[in-house]
Chains A and B, each alone.
Chain A
Amino acid sequence: MVWGSMIAWYLFLAGASAGAFLTSAFVEAKYPDSVKMRVAGRIIAPIFLGIGLLMLMLDAEAGLHNPLRFFYLVMNPGSVMTLGVYFICVFMPVSVIAALLEVLRRPVPKWLTWVGIVSAFCVAAYTGFLLGVVKAYPLWNNAILPVLFVVSALSAGLAATSLVGLVTDRERFERMWLIKKSHVILSAIEMVVLVTMLIIVSSGSAEGAASVASLVSGQYAPMFWGGLVLLGLVAPFAIEGYPVFITRKVETSTTSMVVSVIGEGGVLVGGFMLRLLVILAALPVMYL
């Protein structure tokens, strides 16, 4: 396979950064008083994206040797990566300004948040289309992958921001039912989308089936079942779902705190695993 973990990190961090920004916008709208989470979201966004871009540059050796060439990245609008660069050129400054304003305790103007929301969605989606347009790999070349990446980005961003919220502002966080509900829903949606993608890809072509097989039962099965499905989807779904749908009461004990942290962490690990496995397990269409 061409790409490795560096690009997997980049795709995950770009998605999570967009998700974090969207979460903070959501919190600002629904829970104006939850300041800590909002600020956390807006600080996480530029940091994650910054690290992601650094990873991208480290992986592009020729660019690393002569950085001036990165300015050429805007030259081919037909390429999804160039579109991604446009979106990032909007989203990165917006998220940095938003973060600065939050740090200096100045209000973040509405229009800026809306620009951030739109560009965040675009960044999250672009990471999916980046792989989606490549006809050579059936595991990538399907309509569902971008959707899966967006959902995963949202739940990863939410998890990252909630993690901070959980640790710093526990009481209020426990009462933000909408956040906790959306957590569960996002995990559920991600599971459904993932399953449908695997089914469609494996029925699409022989190489698609082989890629899925290598995920489900082959070489990558342990990482797929352990890392992505259990730790990344089922565990968070159960951990978040239990208080929301079953006991319907506010958890305060330290054990539930630890369990929630594990749940949020699981989502993050699952998010990275998803990108890594999609890159590594993809098998090319045979031309012979």
Chain B
Amino acid sequence: MTRYGMLINTKKCVGCYACRIACQMVNGLDHEEAFIKFDEVEQGTYPNVYAEVVPVQCMHCEDAPCEAVCPTHATYTTDSGVVLVDEGKCIGCKYCMAACPYGVRVQIEQTGVIEKCRFCWYEGEPGNPPRCVNTCVSGARIFGDLDDPESEICQEIARTNAQPLASDLTAAKIYYVR
């Protein structure tokens, strides 16, 4: 069965925030609300310095802590592995915001609902590809089915030995090349 995931190659990300704005636009978010946040990492000291920007967003974990703690079961996982929020059930208790170790859940000011990256889910399908992948100027993002070995994402994961950010925390489905 399909298991959607994403690969983010921080060796190509130039930190231009296009994905953040495109995501805000397509999800109808206000300017202060963003499903993607950016951690700037500096390693080493002058002059041997390695600096990178790491975009962090919902990892659509298979053992999603937010889904586990959500009392109203507003957070659910589709059979294709995409973690979504049923806006009709969420009471805004923010338990999922506390449980998410990546801190990527955002309260939508207009409705009080706690939302996150939805892989641009629309009418039963994720974005083809999601808007952040579509607008990435340096091609640092690949989206696809992790269960399909022929898919571009699986081959790229194999080629670059991409790993989730912190495999000990959750079974994340976003693989990073760093």
Residue positions of A touching B, CB distance < 8 A: 2-3, 56, 59-65, 69-70, 72-73, 75-76, 78-82, 85, 130-131, 133-137, 284-285, 287-288
Question: What count of chain B residues pass the 8 Å CB interface test?
Answer: 35
Q: Which residue of B lies closest to A82 (CB)?
A: B71
Report B55-112 residues with CB < 8 Å from chain A CB.
56, 65, 68-74, 88-95, 97-103, 107, 111-112
A277 to B90, CA, bound (A): 27
B71 near A85 (CB under 8 angstroms)?
yes
- Chain A nearest CB from B120 CB (Å) reads 22
Residues of B within 8 A of A61 (CB): 92, 107, 112
Residue positions of B touching A, CB distance < 8 A: 39, 41, 54, 56, 65, 68-74, 88-95, 97-103, 107, 111-114, 165-166, 169
Instruction: Point out the residue from B69, B89, B92 that lies within 8 Å of A134, measured CB to CB.
Output: B69
- Chain A nearest CB from B121 CB (Å) reads 19
Residues of A within 8 A of B73 (CB): 72, 75-76
Instruction: Point out the residue from A62, A131, A287 that lies within 8 Å of B92, measured CB to CB.
Output: A62
A60 near B98 (CB under 8 angstroms)?
no
Residues of B within 8 A of A3 (CB): 94, 98
A62 to B54, CA, bound (A): 31
B169 near A135 (CB under 8 angstroms)?
yes
Q: Could you jot down 8 A-B contacts, CB within 8 Å? A: A2-B97, A59-B94, A60-B92, A65-B112, A75-B89, A81-B95, A284-B101, A284-B103
A135 near B93 (CB under 8 angstroms)?
no
Residues of B within 8 A of A85 (CB): 71
B165 near A134 (CB under 8 angstroms)?
no
Residues of B within 8 A of A63 (CB): 91-93, 112
